[in-house]
Amino acid sequence: MAAPLTARRGAGDAGGRRVLLLPPLLLALLLARPAGALVEGLYCGTWDCYEVLGVSRAASKAEIARAYRQLARRYHPDRYRPEPGDPGPGRTPQSAEEAFLLVATAYETLKDEETRKDYDYMLDHPEEYYSHYYHYYRRRLAPRVDVRIVILVSVCAISVFQFFSWWNSYNKAINYLATVPKYRIQAMEIAKEQGLLRKAKEKGRNKKSKEEIRDEEENIIKNIIKSKVDIKGGYQKPQIRDLLLFQILLAPVHLCSYIVWYCRWVYNFNIKGKEYGEEERLYLIRKSMKMSKSQFDSLEDHQKETFLKRELWIKENYEVYKQEQEEELKQKLANNPRWKRYRRWMRNEGPGRLTFVDD
């Protein structure tokens, strides 16, 4: 039978010292820290977890588990029967429930090697008050599942969502292009040249209904558009390498590639003074326009040729081009009837005016 539950007192006598002679900061620290190792709110509180279970500090896991099972059966609220002369807190059903919870807390503290190590350190070093609080709540509030598994599952879930979202956007773009006469007519001509539409209208045993023929022709046109049209930007065909999971896995490769590219740029253009090639010029223009790579790639080829002809990679030329674009936008807005109505409304009935209805 395990030993009865007994309290362990702290051995503090700091109140008897002549604290008036101490500096104010040291006085505050002494008053803030308890004198004993057992602190209310940490582990078993003011009880010693070893004495709660009736084992020594050198007890093995098997001895701790055996003592816990004995005390749990003894103090379980549904099975507790007070014995004559039973000391300790378990004298009434209410105190037996408290004792049962205390026994469970002691067992949870001592059954884990890391928690037991922190508890032993607290008993041996009672002066490290704040460190004990930190270790206790770090283990208590730490997630039960490995954080690496949580991060991996989250990244995989985001990647799957990205893939299906991009496919949805890509299919929407294909469906829209199939309704544009320019692309639809070209796709139908290619399908006729390849004989794909005749196969869809085969008769005989494989005769199909009009709806089936129409759906099959529509799929043929969409497949031709997919193979012939290069969609760029936010509606481009999704690539596996663009997913978050693969971007994280390839991050070291991208970082090394960027370092190599940057060193070559500095060596070729800053040190040796070489002239920029077409790719470098487009890169400088994109940076001046503050556009992402996908946004810049979605521009038409004739627009990029215009940028190169005007030498917009030169800062002065780009500033002139920017002013021209702003003036052109102002001119368009000035001649736009909707913009005129909006300005008239802002001047007469816009924000800052109070209007009243007579009726």
* CATH number, residue 75: 1.10.287.110
The verdict on residue 17 lying in a domain is no
The domain tally of the chain equals 3
Work out the average pLDDT over 16-36.
36
Rounded CA-CA distance 164/172 in Å is 12
195-210 pLDDT, tens digit each: 777 665 555 555 667 7
Tell which of 221, 238, 255 closes a domain.
238
* Same-domain pairing of 164 and 230: yes
From 239, 241, 230, 242, select the one nearest 299 (Cα to Cα). Answer: 230
Q: Which residue has the higher pLDDT, 42 or 145?
A: 42
Q: Which residue has the higher pLDDT, 84 or 232?
A: 232
pLDDT for position 9 = 37
* Same-domain pairing of 136 and 153: no
54-88 pLDDT, tens digit each: 898 888 989 999 998 888 888 777 776 666 555 54
Kindly tell me if the per-residue pLDDT of 237 is higher than 70: yes
Q: Which residue has the higher pLDDT, 19 or 344?
A: 344
Q: Which residue has the higher pLDDT, 23 or 115?
A: 115
In the chain the beta strands, taken as DSSP E runs, fall at none
Rounded CA-CA distance 150/158 in Å is 12
Residue 47 DSSP SS3: strand
- Residues of the domain holding 123: 49-141
The verdict on residue 19 lying in a domain is no
* Same-domain pairing of 322 and 290: yes
The verdict on residue 21 lying in a domain is no
- Give 201: exposed, middle or buried? Use CB within 10 Å, 0-12, 13-18, 19+: exposed
Tell which of 141, 159, 190 closes a domain.
141
The verdict on residue 131 lying in a domain is yes
Which of 30-39, 232-241, 324-333 bottoms out in mean pLDDT, i.e. has the lowest?
30-39
The verdict on residue 35 lying in a domain is no
Tell which of 102, 120, 141 closes a domain.
141
* Same-domain pairing of 110 and 157: no
* Same-domain pairing of 57 and 95: yes
Residue 218 DSSP SS3: helix
The verdict on residue 15 lying in a domain is no
Kindly tell me if the per-residue pLDDT of 297 is higher than 90: no
**CB 57 within 8 Å of CB 50:** yes
